[in-house]
Copies of this chain bind each other. A is one copy, B any other.
Amino acid sequence: MNSSSQTRKDFPILERNINNKPLVYLDNAASTQRPLSVINAVSNYEMNYHSNVHRGVHKLSELSTNAFESSRNKIKNYINAESEREIIFTRGATESINIVASSFGQSFKSGDEIMVSQMEHHSNIVPWQNICKKNNLKLIMIPISKDGEIILDEFAKLLNSNTKLVAITHVSNALGTINPIKKMIHQAHEKGAVVIIDGAQAMSHMKIDVTELDCDFYAMSGHKMFAPTGIGALYGKEKLLDGMPPYQFGGEMILSVNFKETIYNELPYKFEAGTPNISGVIGLGAAIDYLNNLNFDDIKKYELNLLNYLSEKLLQISGLKIIGKPKNRSGVISFMFDNIHAHDIGTIVDKEGVAIRTGHHCAQPIMDFYEVSATARASIAHYNTKNDIDVLIEALNKVKEIFS
């Protein structure tokens, strides 16, 4: 349970002070911190073997290409995909979803339906809105309960033979709800719909197995799983990716070009135009190594314990209200505090060294659902401790003092 003192040492930033107080970083859903091993993997690349990949015969290019492709292999193994061809490097979850919307979306026809839950992040709504407007499709909202859970009966009723795609988040970044995606994927498949899972919030908290889930696409953000910013991945079933037109055009994604005709490269390169984010990919590979050394059974227990402790302590503060009450929760608790605006809460706790996020969390539809304009959100990683929570609670009491 206090294994985390060793864990914390892996993350150099956790040792810093903010406003002369030790940093208490509870903004992990916005972005996790990186272990030293990831930071070092990137600088080691820059110092010792940086070169463009794939097209060079010289040693540096060989080294960087090997490291690059071995990261792809690591991800493939980590999420249990069938082949490296199913792993596309992207800038993050947003780009992963945009690729599917823009490329796979071209196969949709007027009258087809796309289903999106009410608890999605903007990046899993707006790309679908756009393709719906363009191709005259229907965007159907999957409703949620007051507890912040998808209403499965409603979902089942909404599914029909026009449903072409279902887009759901694995874990909600605003509520922490873990959605029953395996079941939903199965139901959607029965109606012939394809399912894309937004995994941005899941990867740092649990082990993913895309084969077991049987999802068609799975979107990942590196910076939310201990890797650098600017890198992410899209998993897609090979037979789907194979049939999709390319997304961006340029070097790497072509086999041959002349002014009359261009022949595209095979998977996964078809979707990776231009020089990739090599250092980001290498950082992501190092983050997978880091994840591979974690025991997620223990971590799940540890984090759940922390979340329960947090929720208990929060509810002891009078006037404080937690948003959503999902049975399965991971990582995140959002709350409101009397009439005090989240923004003011954020500033005051920051003075105590506590980093939480305040605002709409890029999930305005869910804010509308709860009829709030902003919440405060504390989000944890496995390196957080009970002490972090105690400091937050104390800081919240200061908020109360000031606004009393």
Interface residues of A (CB under 8 A from B): 12-13, 16, 18-19, 23, 25, 27, 30-31, 33-34, 38-39, 42-43, 46-52, 55-61, 91-95, 97-98, 101, 121-127, 129-130, 139, 141, 221, 223, 228-231, 248-254, 256-259, 262, 273-280, 343, 346-347, 349-350, 354-359, 362, 364-365, 368
Contacts and interface: CB of A to CB of B under 8 A. Distances in A.
B364 A98 contact: no
A189 B261 CA distance: 29
A276 B222 CA distance: 11
Nearest to A229: B278
Contacts of A357: 55-56, 58
Contacts of A92: 274-275
Mostly, the A contact residues are mixed
Contacts of A278: 223, 229-230
Contacts of A249: 94, 98, 101, 122-123, 126-127, 129-130
Contact of A229 (B27, B55, B279): B279
Given A27-B52, A275-B94, A277-B91, A347 B129 contact: no
Nearest to A124: B250
A86 to B, nearest CB: 21
B258 A355 contact: no
A229 B280 contact: yes
Contacts of A259: 125, 129, 139, 141, 365
A119 to B, nearest CB: 12
B51 A31 contact: yes
Nearest to A345: B57
A346 B31 contact: no
Nearest to A63: B18
B123 A274 contact: yes
